[in-house]
Amino acid sequence: MVLNDRQIAQYEKDGYVSPIPVLSNAQANELRARLEKTERAQGGALYPAQRSKSYILFKWLNDLVRDPRVLDPIEQLIGPNILIWNTIFWVKEARSKSFVSWHQDTHYWGLSNDKVITAWIALSAAPIESGCMRVMPGTHRRTLRHEDRYHDDNMLTRGQEIDDGLDENDAVHMPLAAGEMSIHNYCLAHASGPNNSSDRRIGISLHFLPPDTKQIVGAWDCATLVRGIDPHHHFEDAAVPSCDLDPAVVAYHEKASRALSEVLYTGAAIKDRKL
């Protein structure tokens, strides 16, 4: 067992657990190098659509979402049957203003289940000065009002931001070393500030579902069973890449990423595709 009773109780009460060691520093560096090789080959960055549903596109990430070091603590929190639904790259360049406003993902992902869980894995060091993840303990038990603010430096699709009297003094930072992971319930309010460090801050969020979850906003969606069984089949089985940017899955990934983008922008006044 990876998580002890205190950590499990903290997840239930506060909505998060951090840090959890997952990869060695060398393994995190190796995955970072794989990502940066793709970025270089494309002129310096991922394309916006490649940021999401990326486990369909990158073999190394499809392996990571099945890694027992990642899944064991997830199983302790949501049970033995686990689907990977989405993964998102969160790259903040060194000394960049990129930030993520306070938000609860539950309002935007079209999912029926409040057990949906996010694992955030650091591929670079993510100390406080780099704009690490922050959370508001206990807010996973409240529905908070959001507004779309469309800020250029906001990494979220529509600049969604909680406008419901949150007190910044209640926030907790979740700094991570490269290779460590934080976990939070997707109903929990979270955010992150600009990167004031001299290195890139590179993270990947992995979004896992119990199989009784449904997509209730989008007409079509996909996911991959990574542990246990799926008696429900609410999601199409996602394509699996046999190498990074496998030509056999590129069109499928584009379909999945576009379908997700449509869900994320449902009801938005402006659809400026960031994901």
Ligand X SMILES: O=C(O)CCC(=O)C(=O)O
Distance CA 160, CA 203 (A): 20
Distance CA 181, CA 7 (A): 14
Nearer to ligand X, 192 or 215 (CB): 192
Contact 28, 188 (CB under 8 A): no
Instruction: Compute the least distance from the CB of residue 261 to ligand X, in Å.
Output: 16
| Encoded tokens for 171 | 């926030």
Distance CA 243, CA 225 (A): 19
Nearer to ligand X, 75 or 105 (CB): 105
Q: Sheet holding 16-21: strands in order across? A: 16-21, 180-185, 117-122, 201-209, 82-92, 222-227, 236-237
Termini Cα distance of the chain: 35
Nearer to ligand X, 62 or 98 (CB): 98
Cα 156 to Cα 13, 48, 52: the distances in Å are 26, 12, 12
Nearer to ligand X, 161 or 246 (CB): 161
Instruction: Compute the least distance from the CB of residue 7 to ligand X, in Å.
Output: 19
Instruction: Compute the least distance from the CB of residue 135 to ligand X, in Å.
Output: 10
Instruction: Compute the least distance from the CB of residue 1 to ligand X, in Å.
Output: 25
Nearer to ligand X, 89 or 252 (CB): 89
Residue numbers at the binding site for ligand X (CB under 6 A) = 90, 100, 105, 118, 120, 133, 190, 192, 203, 205
Distance CA 129, CA 95 (A): 10
Q: Cα 106 vs. chain centroid, distance in angstroms?
A: 12
Instruction: Compute the least distance from the CB of residue 133 to ligand X, in Å.
Output: 5
Nearer to ligand X, 84 or 100 (CB): 100
Instruction: Compute the least distance from the CB of residue 203 to ligand X, in Å.
Output: 5
